[in-house]
Amino acid sequence: MKMNEALQKEAARLQRELTGHSHRYHVLDDPVISDEEYDGMLKRLMEIEEAFPEWSTPDSPTKRVGAPPLESFEKALHSVPMLSLDNAFNDQDIFEFHKRIVRLTGRENIVYIAEPKLDGAAVELRYENGILVRAATRGDGVTGEVITQNVRTIGPVPLKLNEDRSKAPLLLEVRGEVIIRKSDFEKLNKARMEDGESIFANPRNAAAGSLRQLDSKITAKRPLDIFVYGTGLVQGLEFNTHHRLLNILQEFGFPVNPHIRTGLSVAGVLQAYKELERLREGLPYEIDGMVIKVDDMALQQQLGEKIKSPRWAIAYKFFAMQKTTRIKDIIVQVGRTGVLTPVAILESVNIGGVMVRRATLHNEDEIRRKDIRIGDKALVTRAGDVIPKIIRIFESERNGTQIHFKMPEYCPVCGSRIEKFKLDRSHINKCVNSSCQAQLKERIRHFVSKKAFDIEGLGRKIVDQLVDEGMIRSFVDVFTLEKEKLAGLERQAEKSASNLTEAIERSKKISFARFLYALGIEHTGENAAKLISEKFSCLDDIMAALASGLETIHGIGPETASAVSRFFSNKENKTIVRQLLEAGVEIKADRPIQARDNPFNQKRVVLTGTLASLTRSEAQKLLENSGAIVTSSVSTKTDFLIAGKDAGSKLEKAKQSGVRILEEDEFLAML
């Protein structure tokens, strides 16, 4: 009994401390412990909550890890409509806006507040008695979709307010913009490109797409951030100005943008706009203008709303960061999987303070669709997209010297013949020579990257050097590098060679998921590797799996399933895996080993009602450890419904859908 009391106190302490550390890291940017220490504390809390699910509170930091996948999103009616904003495009539009405010209120000295207009996805967070109970997308402004389990994975979002529960507002609906920072967006797209996945057009699309994942574990892998800017329905909280509201939200633990300006006259608004425009390029996230609001809440209420927008706010939009330049050449780069990517070499042009010399052309279909030719005058943009791209070309500027581009028939690096494949709706050109040096360099960089074997010291230049010198010809060679030979390389001292060999030795112990990811299998990114590793007990089982078996894993599509099966059916790949193990690589299991003939393995199961011998979370844990996919709603794809006492509408739906229904005794017997 005393031991349980001590564990419960430890769980409460860990919940409290982890919440504080998360706020310091994500909101204050002032961490006081290392990531490793934080992960250790979180792992300990998860262990305790798994053993005692009743101690897991709705605001526990473990809720950020990701919940079981949904079948679909529920709809949510906004208490107060999330209206769009009217746009202003010049100073005169702002003066006209100010005149209307003066006319409608009868007040001359209007005070404004101005904030960056973030280019992301709007959400509403609903807190009851200080606890996050629901999150929803903006949708059409009247009705959104419930995305609570996805929003819980966003680090800066407080799961409970930094306030005594007794003092927290009865109801608080907070509105904000979910974003992805520029550097994180670059990394995300690079990883997707390397994995053969389609890239996101811009950070806004990436953020919106991440929020609408049915599997929150995918959302948890995306680098989402948030700034809050207002409220919907509020009960039990008073404030008379918008800037006072933002101060309160910041005290509650919400991130508020640091570039908000308060106490502005209409002239001050225009000055603030110019200052923000100068800051724009240097900001770590995308903005496309400035939002101007009347600061006085009573005046906001007096002004009211039109059908689609409030009368007390307006968005002053920036000009897009676009410039015209000339396409000097089009070259082809060879990626890790052999995919050829055309890149436009441009006459250098300054776009938003950055000298742009290259622009991605994505693939051959993109070049044909836009009719891009060498020598063309083109409109290039960086607005909403970190990677410069060509919007369109100016056909009227052609003088007959422009040259049609044709994808090479042979690899520009190894000379092997190029093959063409169809991916989604696009065609890709690919070098299928696995010995191609360009591919080998990219594969090795991926293999030793942070999310894979994480070998510190094996950067881009040293990998290029080792491949060019013939010291690395395959993954296995990484683990046979000798300190003496490394020290003999140009710009490699004995100390750095020693550090590198020590880092290589440390990297040999690796999780199942990271090992799969490191192999660089097509269409198999970090999340796919994790999903697969969770469903198989050992490497041999994965290597023997058919595509049809892999496709039954929730979240694994036919392309990934086929790619994994194809990879391990290749004799050379099997040999490399065996040689890695012989070289000392030690794979740590990601989950308990399950029997292959387990009746729940790879089956979709729904729990309903109250079980006599188990809590719902205990039953779910047993099922997941048996390889089951536990979902929250019944569909035609459901294999079993486990019905406890007082089973409701799910039981009726299961009967109508012909789903097999198990009572508690039968369920336990099958386990």
pLDDT mean values, one per 10 residues, the chain (671 residues): 74 83 65 68 80 77 68 87 88 94 94 95 94 92 91 93 78 96 88 76 87 90 95 93 96 94 96 93 89 96 87 88 89 88 91 79 88 94 68 91 93 91 76 86 91 88 89 92 83 81 91 90 84 80 85 80 90 90 84 59 83 75 76 79 81 84 85 76
Kindly state whether residues 409 and 491 are assigned to the same domain.
Answer: no
Within a domain: residue 281? yes
Do 224 and 305 reside in the same domain of the chain?
yes
Cα dihedral value 507, 510, 515, 517, nearest 10: -80
Last residue in a domain, options 362, 391, 423: 423
| Residue 268, domain CATH | 3.30.470.30
Return the CATH number at 390: 2.40.50.140
- Is 189 domain-assigned? yes
Q: For residue 599, is it within any domain?
A: no
Number of domains, the chain: 6
Q: Are residues 115 and 251 in the same domain?
A: yes
Selection from 353, 408, 398 nearest residue 378 by Cα: 398
CA distance 586 to 29: 36
- Can you give the pLDDT at residue 669? 80
Residue where a domain terminates, one of 290, 317, 344? 317
Q: Given 487, 507, 527, which residue is the final one in a domain?
A: 507
Q: Is 71 among the domain residues? A: no
CATH number for 618: 3.40.50.10190
Is there a single domain that holds both residue 357 and residue 309?
Answer: no
Distance between CA atoms of 163 and 131, rounded to whole angstroms? 10
The answer to whether 603 is a known catalytic residue is no
Mark whether 139 and 286 lie in a shared domain.
yes
Is residue 159 located within the same domain as residue 287? yes
Q: Is 593 left (phi over 0), alpha (psi -120 to 50) or beta?
A: beta
pLDDT of residue 42: 79
- Residue 374 within any structural domain of the chain: yes
Predicted pLDDT at 228: 97
Both 143 and 246 in a single domain? yes
Determine, yes or no, domain membership for 37. yes
Which CATH number does the domain housing residue 31 bear?
1.10.287.610
Structural domain span for residue 30: 2-64
Q: Is residue 15 part of a domain?
A: yes
Pair (100, 210) in one structural domain: yes
382 and 407 part of one domain: yes
Same domain, 52 and 96: no
Please give the pLDDT value at position 400: 92
Whole-angstrom distance, CA of residue 376 vs CA of residue 327: 6
Catalytic residue among 9, 75, 117, 535: 117
**Contact of 343 with 331, CB cutoff 8 Å:** yes
Provide the whole-model pTM. Answer: 0.53
Residue 238 and residue 287 in one domain: yes
Q: What is the CATH number of the domain that holds 490?
A: 1.10.150.20
